[in-house]
């Protein structure tokens, strides 16, 4: 199959990870790309402070995609990217978090490369990592977690979805931290399935608006996860972290030993 050729005056395209929202968490490479762009296609979760880094005169197009809200079709976003490159623009596709972690960056790269467009990707800090770091706790720990799984709680329509029971058993046996994105809406089902393999007292935390001034969180247990979300009024965008590493948040907050067992449900929003 012959790769299409671009016009001689064609521009360029870079997928840039904007991180969880705090502009100080951007990489230097991300800032340089944003400032060089003539066209920015911006995700809904990218903060205004980051968009403000764009050069004067740059065209900013908001192409929001959020669960439960009116979204810009993916095919339309990809068409905008390709058209702008063909018109000679320096295009930045500005994506929340990291382009290659639940950002559909892989699909966009494939589409552009199929059209003969070379693409660069600049990584960003993903919310699951940033959220726990903001709270002073790790995702892995020699005593508590030998690895971490990033997984989505929202599946493609028609997709069978995650086998949460199998994942629970694997997390238990391999001592893994679970970081669930887009899991608030389906939390009741996820909790029920995970409880088949993980004990109800497994520590958990829900972190909303990671790294932003309005960030808040609630520490709880797997057995009380859904009731905590309801009681605290937590909603998207949030990440859910489940595993023994969550003990570290309680240790920071209360000056306790992080290796001590969790005593019942302890929920706190800040």
79 is catalytic: no
| β pairing state of 119-122 and 147-152 | unpaired
Residues 6+ apart with CB under 8 A from 21: 45, 46, 47, 49, 50, 96, 209, 210, 211, 212
Q: CA 36 to CA 30: how far, in whole Å? A: 10
Catalytic residue among 65, 81, 98, 132: 65
70 is catalytic: no
Q: Quick one: which of 129, 138, 130 has its CA closest to 251?
A: 138
E strand residue ranges, the chain: 12-17, 39-42, 59-62, 90-95, 119-122, 147-152, 176-181, 203-208, 216-221, 238-242
Q: CA 212 to CA 200: how far, in whole Å? A: 30
Catalytic residue among 43, 81, 95, 132: 43
43 is catalytic: yes
Catalytic residue among 95, 98, 132, 182: 182
Q: CA 62 to CA 114: how far, in whole Å? A: 24
Q: Which residues are catalytic?
A: 43, 65, 182
């Amino acid at each position: 199959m012959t790769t299409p050729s671009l016009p001689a005056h064609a521009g360029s395209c870079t997928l840039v990870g904007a991180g969880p929202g705090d502009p100080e968490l951007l990489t230097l490479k991300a800032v340089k790309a944003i400032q060089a762009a003539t066209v920015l296609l911006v995700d809904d979760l990218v903060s205004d402070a980051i968009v403000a880094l764009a050069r004067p005169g740059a065209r900013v197009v908001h192409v929001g995609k959020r669960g439960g809200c009116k979204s810009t079709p993916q095919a339309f976003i990809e068409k905008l990217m390709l058209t702008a490159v063909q018109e000679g623009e320096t295009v930045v596709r500005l994506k929340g978090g990291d382009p290659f972690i639940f950002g559909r960056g892989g699909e966009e790269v494939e589409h552009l490369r199929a059209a003969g467009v070379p693409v660069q990707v600049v990584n960003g800090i993903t919310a699951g990592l940033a959220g726990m770091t903001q709270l002073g706790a790790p995702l892995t720990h020699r005593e508590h977690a030998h690895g971490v799984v990033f997984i989505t709680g929202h599946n493609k329509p028609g997709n069978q979805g995650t086998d949460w029971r199998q994942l629970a058993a694997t997390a238990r046996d391999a001592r893994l931290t679970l970081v669930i994105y887009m899991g608030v809406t389906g939390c009741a089902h996820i909790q029920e399935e995970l409880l088949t393999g993980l004990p109800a007292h497994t520590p958990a935390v829900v972190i909303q608006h990671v790294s932003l001034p309005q960030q808040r969180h609630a520490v709880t247990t797997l057995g009380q996860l859904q009731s905590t979300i309801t009681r605290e009024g937590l909603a998207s965008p949030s990440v859910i972290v489940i595993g023994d590493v969550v003990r570290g948040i309680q240790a920071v907050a209360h000056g306790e030993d992080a290796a001590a067992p969790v005593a019942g449900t302890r929920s706190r929003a800040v």
